[in-house]
């Protein structure tokens, strides 16, 4: 499993993130505190608190590495 933190600050960031996760063949979860939503769901992402960094969890390490590279602009510092 691969996990990393991201920060989505605008609606366009969420759209770009969902576009990237939709190309991933494995499950992508986004965790914010105690809530876990599907990382491929715009509605799911908007239902959690995006004002702080959230954790992305990818089941497949190979897909996780390529997804992390695809969303590198959103990586939390």
Q: What is the full per-residue pLDDT of the chain (77 aa) written as tens digits?
A: 899 999 999 999 999 999 999 998 899 999 999 999 999 999 999 999 999 999 999 988 777 789 999 999 999 97
Euclidean distance between CA atoms 64 and 69, whole angstroms: 9
- Which tokens is 36 given? 């876990």
pLDDT score of 61: 78
pLDDT score of 64: 78
Alpha helices, DSSP H, located in the chain = 11-22, 42-46, 61-70
Among 2.60.40.1510, 3.30.1340.10, 3.40.30.10, 3.30.56.10, name the CATH number for the domain at 2-74: 3.30.1340.10
Rounded to two decimals, the pTM is: 0.90
């Amino acid at each position: 499993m691969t996990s990393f933190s991201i920060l989505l600050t605008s609606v366009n960031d969420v759209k770009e993130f969902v576009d990237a996760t939709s190309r991933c063949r494995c499950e992508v979860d986004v965790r914010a505190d105690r809530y876990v939503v599907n990382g491929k769901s715009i509605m799911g992402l908007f239902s959690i608190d995006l004002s702080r960094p959230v954790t992305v969890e990818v089941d497949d390490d190979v897909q996780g590495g390529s997804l992390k590279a695809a969303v590198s602009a959103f990586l939390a510092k």
